[in-house]
Amino acid sequence: MILAGDVGGTKVHLALYSFAGGRLGLEREYKFHSSEYAALDDVVKEFLAQSGDAKEEIIAACFGCPGPVRDGRLKLTNLPWTLDERELERSVGIEHIFLINDLEANGYGIPELAPDKVFTLHKGDPGSVGHRGLVSAGTGLGEALLIWDAKTQRHRPIPSEGGHCDFAPRNDREIALLNYLRKTLHGRVSFERVVSGIGIKNVYSFLRDDQKMDEPAWLRERMESEDPNAVIGQCGEDGSSEICAETLRMFVSAFGAEAGNVALKVLAMGGMYLGGGIAPKILKTMENGEFTRAFLDKGRLSPLLQAVPVRVILDDSCALLGAAAFAEARAAEISGRSERAAS
């Protein structure tokens, strides 16, 4: 049995997996609100207490976390938690615990996805083999490089903090957005401030306050009483609000531009993957052409990107699957026994 976790700024998603025929099989899962706990240890202990005798069967655990992992330790980007593999092992009583970057976990999860859990946004050359890129827009903006190893015929995920690189505006309105955010944020603006859940609210505020787009009373009331991003997504997708639709249009355009940047940096002939919770919820806007135009708009290199497939990950458990696969592989290296192979 493997314990896997996807640790985010909003929630901690934990799951237990077994193996059958070499494939991961979900035994139990639960989502916890991150802000309600002082440490990851507390979340894991509560989950294990609810899981009965399953703890005795756990051979390893892995948690995908936002932020750079160094020597088995990291300080989370969007939570006031500091995690350490050795301390977690002692605290929760599991012998092998591994911490990896959340995008690294997503990268390991892609080969575990069922075909119907991936949506093709841009066909490109589907038979092309090579490096891949992964850009995930959720609470924050995560990025990873998936390096193709011809010898093993597998991709090796390389985590990065590319989402914190400088936002690069491409037209007059985006220049105005940059200037607006420089004032409201009192300085530097990263891509995460535009392409993320945080970014959606930033773009909406820019259109309302700087560009003077109308915010009708009914929409203002909903924004104040409900989750703003959910309201913007719903009203932008169904066309009931012009400012929400324009917010999503600017968002997917910037998303496409940054995905194209990553594709150029890694020469992602094996495809670009879009993770995170936002893209699957706004597929109508993602499909309207704005994302793809921005993705392909790379001057003399545009023909190169025409051949790069772009796929949206629809399964929100991708990082969990990747964490489980990583934990089993590392535990097998240490013990010399593979739970996956034994199944």
Q: How confident is the model at residue 235 (pLDDT cuts 50, 70, 90)?
A: very high
Residue 338 has pLDDT above 90, yes or no: no
Tell me the pLDDT tens digit for each residue of 108-156. 999 999 999 999 999 999 888 999 999 999 988 999 999 999 999 999 9
DSSP string, 101-165: EHHHHHHHHGGGS-GGGEEEEE-S-TT--S-EEEEEESSSEEEEEEEEETTTTEEEEEEE-GGGS
Q: How many CB atoms lie within 10 A of CB 164?
A: 16
Q: By CB neighbour count within 10 A (0-12 exposed, 13-18 middle, 19+ buried), where does 39 fall?
A: middle
pLDDT mean across residues, the chain: 94
Contact (Cβ atoms closer than 8 angstroms) between residue 272 and residue 120: no
What percent of the chain stands above pLDDT 70? 100
d(CA 21, CA 318): 19
d(CA 270, CA 92): 39
The pLDDT of residue 66 is: 86
Q: Let me know if 249 is exposed, middle or buried by CB neighbors in 10 A (0-12, 13-18, 19+).
A: middle
The predicted structure's pLDDT at residue 8 = 82
Q: Please, what are the domains in the chain?
A: 2-109+317-342 (3.30.420.40), 115-314 (3.40.367.20)
CB 112 within 8 A of CB 322: yes
Choice between 76 and 264, residue whose per-residue pLDDT is larger: 264
What distances in angstroms separate CA 267 from CA 77, 79, 147, 240, 258, one per listed residue? 28, 33, 10, 39, 14
Q: Residues 44, 47, 50, 51: what is their CA dihedral angle, to the nearest 10 degrees? A: -90
Q: Encode pLDDT of 46-93 as tens digits.
A: 999 988 888 888 999 999 998 889 999 999 877 889 999 999 999 999
pLDDT band at 266 (very low <50, low <70, confident <90, very high): very high
CA distances from 242 to 30, 204, 234, 236, 248 (A): 37, 11, 12, 7, 10
pTM above 0.85, yes or no: yes
Has residue 342 got a pLDDT over 80?
no
| pLDDT score recorded for residue 23 | 87
pLDDT of residue 324: 95
Q: Is the pLDDT of residue 290 over 90?
A: yes
Residue 253, SS3?
A: helix
Amino acid sitting at position 234: Q
